[in-house]
Structures are given as structure tokens and as C-alpha cells.
Amino acid sequence: MTNVADRQIPEYLNYVGPGWRDILLRTHAELVAVLPNYQVVQVKEKYGMLDVNLGGFVDPVTGALGLSRELGTRVSAILTAAREESLRTCEVCGEPGTETGQAWIKTLCPTHAQPC
Ligand SMILES: [Zn+2]
């Protein structure tokens, strides 16, 4: 069996820009608090948002596959908060940013939104 820590957010920090690292680490801390054995399926940037996909939920209390409604609600609230924060945070440097739509949508601060 692989180590659960191999499939958690700290192993996925490089999948998005360094400006979102703090959001990811905070999201990890919040997830571990409610669901210590959570598993990441994918961490990516999508439409200027940080997108964290989890899978294989095992309820920490009952050991059953799947989450109680209450726990599921708390987990989605954590992931929603991360998405919303990423929409206000430059993916490159972590400064306040907004969505910029050039060839594709990215969330960037004014400095990093300048064309190269
Ligand atoms: Zn920036």
C-alpha cells in the first residue's frame, strides 16, 4: 500500500504557479483537520482558478467508503474557498490579481499580466 502522504497536496505544489502555493498549503492543513486520509486525484489550473480534485474518500470515523453529508459539506466548503481565493491571487507571485483573458484565462497581478 502506498503512503497516503504521497497523494496529498504537498506533493502537487508544482502543478500550478508558485503564487498559489500558500493557498494550497492552507487548503491541505484545513483538509487534514477534517479528513486526515484525503487523497488528491488532480491539482490544476482551470479557467484562471485553482482546481483541486479529491477522490477515494474513506470516512475517518466509520471507515466506510464515501463521506457523511456533514463531512462532505465541510470538504466542499474548503475546496470552494481555495477556488475563490485563487481568483483574487496572481498565479505567478501571489499578489492580488484578477482574471485576464488573452489567449487563455489566467489570474494575474498587473505586473504579470503585461505581455512578455
Ligand atoms: Zn504577479
pLDDT digits (tens, 9 = 90+) for 6-59: 899 999 999 999 999 999 999 999 999 999 889 999 999 998 999 999 986 777
Distance between Cα 90 and ligand 1 center (Å): 5
The whole-angstrom separation of Cα 64 and Cα 28 is: 22
What's the whole-model pTM score? 0.84
Closest CA to 14 of 91, 80, 82, 81: 91
- CA–CA separation, 90 vs 86, rounded Å? 8
Report pLDDT for 18.
96
Number of domains in the chain: 1
Residue 39 CA to ligand 1 centre (angstroms): 30
**pLDDT at residue 40 in the model:** 94
Asked if residue 107 is part of any domain, the answer here is no
- Whether 23 is in a domain gets the answer yes
* 100 found inside a domain: no
- Distance (angstroms) between ligand 1 centre and the Cα of 18 equals 10
Domain that holds residue 30: 4-88
98 domain residue, yes or no: no
Residue 59 falls inside a structural domain: yes
Count the Cβ atoms, other than its own, within 10 Å of residue 83: 15
pLDDT of residue 67: 81
Q: Is the pLDDT of residue 2 over 70?
A: no
Ligand 1 midpoint to CA 77 (Å): 26
Q: How far is CA 18 from CA 8, 24, 50, 89, in A?
A: 17, 10, 12, 11
